[in-house]
Amino acid sequence: MAQPPALARLAGVTELCPNLNLSTSLPKRTDAVLLGMATINQDEPALVGTVPDLDKAYQKAFGTSIAAMATAMGAGAKEGTVTSLPGVDGTRILVVGLGDADVTPDGVRNAVGSGLRKVAALEDVEGLAVAVSLELSDPELIQAAGEGALLGAYRFSAIKAEADPRAVAAVTLVSPVANAEAKAAVELARVIAEAVCQARNWTNTPPNLLYPETFAEAARAALKEQKVAVEILDDKALEKGGYGGILAVGGGSSRKPRLVRMSYAPRGAKAHLALVGKGITFDSGGLDIKPAGQMAGMKFDMSGAAAVIAAVQAIAAAGLKVKVTAYAAMAENLPSGTSYRSSDVLTMFDGQTVENYNTDAEGRLVMADAIARAGQDQPDLIVDVATLTGACMVALGLRTSGLMTNGEETSDLLLDAAEAAGEDFWELPITEHTRNQIKSTVADMRSGGTSRWGGALVAGAFLERFVPEGIGWAHLDIAGTADNPEEAYGHTPKGGTGVGVRTLVALASQLAEG
């Protein structure tokens, strides 16, 4: 009997995305076409991307043009709206709103994502060939359309004995140009989208299937085709290495913790980027246990590690000339007779001691060990990614991630990368007052403050203590954005989002370019 789909996903076996192609004309087999509607100089909306042969067949079948039919059926230019038109010759036709004709990459990414979500949600369909025709010729817009299409088509397969059929098997971007730059843009879109979908798959996988051991092996499997060295430290190696934070958090579970180290070192790299991801595969809160209603979503607490591993996969697959050393700190936080306690004093990897204030503030402990270890590699920049604090969700909601750094230059670099990737980050401060909140009378520091206020900032101040002096550092708090519990929008599905992957790849690209 074949492996259940979830196990195949963990082994890196399943295909993550539809095939993505570029063409100057509509493919002979096209089951659905996505056209656009945009406003030009604030005038009436105009149809974008009409294919002459398709329009000729439409006029023959219905006595009117596709543009006229779209107008009659209320198709508009409002961003993200999708209107289905009557099909012709077995080809479905959808029109997506693009807003103003002067489109941005993020606008294109979200619009195409909305259209492909609509196609992928059709009932009783399998293996559709979809064409996206929006008259795009700029490589940046072509890449955005490709990413949006593959991300919008993503579906997490239900865990069944037999896998659900894939609604969309192939996507063709119809463009006036098919030169080397355009083809490179399509290939990069495929690489990035596959990485995001891989992160989504891991994030959506239930914790009885994805736990430290299986997650670590899944990372190894995902990277085996790339020039990435992978080292997995088990609990014995962690104990030998003095990783007090990771061992404490994982000590209550029978499924022992892991630390995955990934190294990508291409020739010609002039910059060294270190990435650190939080991989708490399930967070019960430990002895400070969460209420039952807050526990079900805690399979998403490994999203930072998923983003980091997937980003390394994409950076290597794209051949970016930047050295990357990455760490994924994996543990399961459960209560038992071997659990760590509030008020325990832990000795961390770098020798600093921490008075633990709450076992449900476990993420910062595993991240502190991994950040300290990353510092020994002497990178130019350390970026950590974590679903770290509910306080960040209260501050920024479910669509904006938090950013904290130790310098203005690092802030600018990360915000530029996030903008280029189309991911929304907002910078939060770490003040001296915040740093004073983690003073301890029994250890070098406390893992949390003495009050509930500014919890996201206090967590950032704690992590900052483990960054070696002179190294740039950025902390990405994705607690509110890693899981979308609401309705899907743009290219973002319900469930795991894969947030952070695109920003990390964009950052690596910027560093590679110098």
Active site residues per annotation:
290, 364
Question: Nearest to residue 293, comparing CAs of 305, 303, 304, 285?
Answer: 285
CB 150 within 8 A of CB 190: yes
- Dihedral sign for Cα atoms in the order 204, 207, 208, 209: positive
Encoded amino acid at 435, one letter: R
Residue 276: CB atoms within 10 A of its CB come to: 31
Quote the tokens at residue 448. Answer: 């949390």
CB 388 within 8 A of CB 459: yes
Strand 272-283 relative to strand 229-233, pairing = unpaired
CA dist., res. 308 & res. 306, Å (int): 6
Question: At residue 183, what are phi and psi to the nearest 5 degrees?
Answer: -65, -40
H-helix segments, 174-211: 180-204
- Dihedral sign for Cα atoms in the order 401, 407, 411, 414: negative
Beta strands in 65-181 (DSSP E): 82-88, 91-100, 128-133, 168-174
Task: Name the DSSP letter for residue 476.
Answer: E
Helix (H), strand (E) counts: the chain: 16, 20
CA dist., res. 321 & res. 397, Å (int): 35
CB 252 within 8 A of CB 343: no
Residue 14: CB atoms within 10 A of its CB come to: 18
Encoded amino acid at 189, one letter: A
CB 303 within 8 A of CB 482: yes
CA dist., res. 385 & res. 367, Å (int): 9
Encoded amino acid at 299, one letter: K
The residue length of the chain stands at 514
Q: Is 39 helix (H, G, I), strand (E, B) or coil?
A: strand
Q: Residue 411: which residues within 8 A CB-CB, separation 6 or more?
A: 403, 405, 427, 474
* Alpha-carbon torsion angle 108, 111, 113, 118, nearest 10: -160
Residue in the structure block whose two tokens are 């022992």 = 256
Beta strands in 194-322 (DSSP E): 229-233, 258-264, 272-283
